[in-house]
Amino acid sequence: MKRKVTVFIASSLDGYIATEDDSLDWLFKIDGEGDNGYSKFYETIDTIVLGRRTYDWIMNIEEDFPYKNKECYVFTHSKQEPTNHVTFVNDNVVKFINNLKDTEGKNIWIVGGGNLLSDFIKENLVDEFIITVAPIILGNGISLFKKHNIAIELKLKNIHRYNQFVELHYVKK
């Protein structure tokens, strides 16, 4: 059985994943419930894929790399030496992910960001979307979905409420 590529992300009601200056402060002002399903989801994956901009943002915010116990790949346009926790990738996205999906393991999580996610959507590489919607309208920012993506038919698998957040879980038809 092939591994699944999953998007697990929070979004404003109007579809933004961060403000224009990459801030997530708005997200932490909203009352959730526990960790809003994060721990349960985190157990289903063993591989993480990030874009370089998201990786750099995480490294500037976090004192410790948060995904030490997972295999992590960072897509970048430049050659980089691996770190203790991350392998940098500048290969073809489709070839790399399809090879990864064919290996043994749990599911693969696309952490971000918007540009990498857009590349995955354009190539129809995402198997499921778990989007937690926050009750806020930001008006502008970094969009969850970019223009010019392909149309993908989805099926609603589950809905879960975490206090003020609503988690929508979709799978590809």
Predicted confidence (pLDDT) per residue in 51-103, tens digit: 998 999 899 988 899 999 999 999 999 888 889 999 999 989 999 999 999 99
pLDDT at 120 over 90: yes
Structure tokens at 77: 């346009």
pLDDT tier, 1 (very low <50, low <70, confident <90, very high otherwise): confident
pLDDT tier, 149 (very low <50, low <70, confident <90, very high otherwise): confident
pLDDT tier, 16 (very low <50, low <70, confident <90, very high otherwise): very high
Question: Contacts for 144-149 with beta carbons within 8 Å, 24 or more apart?
Answer: 144/9, 144/11, 144/15, 144/16, 144/17, 144/114, 144/117, 145/15, 145/117, 145/118, 145/121, 146/114, 146/115, 146/117, 146/118, 146/121, 148/122, 149/118, 149/121, 149/122
Is there a contact between 51 and 109 (Cβ–Cβ < 8 Å)? no
- d(C-alpha 9, C-alpha 118), whole Å: 14
pLDDT at 150 over 90: no
> Can you spell out the DSSP letters for 27-84?
HHTS--STTTTHHHHHTTEEEEEEEHHHHHHHHHH-SS-TTTTSEEEEE-SS-----S
CATH topology for 5-172? Dihydrofolate Reductase, subunit A (3.40.430)
The pLDDT of residue 39 = 96
pLDDT at 148 over 80: no
The pLDDT of residue 115 = 84
pLDDT per position as a tens digit, 23-41: 999 999 999 999 999 999 9
The per-residue pLDDT of the chain, averaged, comes to 94
- d(C-alpha 140, C-alpha 1), whole Å: 40
CA angle 22, 28, 31 (to 5 degrees): 150
Other C-beta atoms within 10 Å of 85: how many? 16
Domain ranges, ordered by start, for the chain: 5-172
Structure tokens at 79: 């050659």
The pLDDT of residue 31 = 96
